[in-house]
Amino acid sequence: MADEIVPPFSARNRGAYAQIDNDCPDTTRTGLLHLLYRLVEMKYVEGWQAVVGELQRIARLSPDLSEYGPVTAGELLSNLTWDKVFNFCERLYNHLAQEASHYDSYAEQHVLDAPRSMVQEYIAAELQYLFLEEHLVFEFSSGLVQRRGRRHTANQVAGADLVLGDPRFSSARTHFNKARKYFRNAAQPDYENVVKEAVCAVEAVARVLFPDGGSTLGKVVKSITGSKSGQLPEPIANTFQGLYGFSSGGEGVRHGGTTGGPVTKELAEYALGVAASQTIFLVDFAKSLEEEIPF
């Protein structure tokens, strides 16, 4: 669920290379406290006593529930080191989340409002959206705060996330989210599908930006390649063709029986990073071709 979230305007409108790393700003902690308010109100967690008890445990403070509530929780969050705040986010999803129900006095029975799995989906989506709002380098996925891949790859992927927030690229965003999900699945990564979906994302963007270029990435790139002003230099065009070619010839990527070589973790990360860079470039390149509006 969280993987399909469109970045908020503030994130789409911000530069792609100013992500916050190795820190949890006060604004993030405040946003997390607002989320805790909603979770307690909806009974998605047991209550403030459980929240404060968990925060004390993570802070390695002696148990003291003589005072508990949003003020106490806020104070504890403020004093946690940045990494332990993210520990709490994981515990919130994996430990504090509970099914929500109410007692129907007329029917004299408990009625289930939300199973625990639905509560966890809600928490994951809210945390991921908070991380996007705060422009953190981290993401919340599969119950964990994580950054898969090298920092350079993470920066490129974050940049692609911003441009893919454009509604025109909904199909490309779906492909790109799949590629990222396959790569970040620590239990069962699917590197072949990382390459396939990453290239499909670039192809989808290219077809939107250059609708007269053809039905495949190769044809679109060929249609805009040349040595004149406003055309793509051939050496740069070859980088698109190369990645597209590997998606067709790599073993197990798009076609059966291919012998273009196995897709390793390193190749998958490279393909993901390159596809992100190509996506950003195509959007910038198309924008540079737009005629200036006369005033």
Largest CA distance in the chain: 78
Model pTM score: 0.57
Reported as a single tens digit per residue, the pLDDT across 55-99 is 999 999 999 988 899 999 999 999 999 999 999 999 999 999 999
What's the burial of 295, exposed, middle or buried (CB within 10 Å: 0-12/13-18/19+)? exposed
At residue 280 the predicted structure's pLDDT band, cuts being 50, 70 and 90, is: very high
pLDDT tops 50 at residue 235? yes
- How long, in residues, is the chain? 295
CA-to-CA dists, residue 136 to 20, 26, 130, angstroms: 5, 13, 9
Cα 136 to Cα 10: distance, rounded to the nearest angstrom: 13
pLDDT tops 50 at residue 256? no
The second-level CATH assignment, the architecture, of 151-289 is Up-down Bundle (1.20)
Reported as a single tens digit per residue, the pLDDT across 208-218 is 999 999 989 99
Are 253 and 196 in contact by the 8 Å Cβ rule? The answer is: yes
Cα 168 to Cα 287: distance, rounded to the nearest angstrom: 14
pLDDT tops 50 at residue 146? yes
Question: Apex CA 215: angle with CA 210 and CA 219, to 5°?
Answer: 75
The Cβ of residue 282 has, within 10 Å, a number of other Cβ atoms equal to 24
Q: Compute the mean pLDDT over every residue in the chain, rounded to the nearest whole number.
A: 86
Give Cα 45 distance to the centre of its chain. Answer: 25
Q: Which residues are paired to 141 by β-bridges?
A: 144
Reported as a single tens digit per residue, the pLDDT across 94-125 is 999 999 988 777 877 777 889 999 999 999 99
Predicted pLDDT at 58:
97
Average pLDDT of span 164-179:
94
CA-to-CA dists, residue 238 to 222, 278, 289, angstroms: 9, 12, 20
Predicted pLDDT at 139:
83
Are 85 and 28 in contact by the 8 Å Cβ rule? The answer is: yes
Give the CA count within 13 Å in the CB-facing half-sphere of 224. Answer: 24
Predicted pLDDT at 293:
45
Domain ranges within the chain, ordered by starting residue: 2-146, 151-289
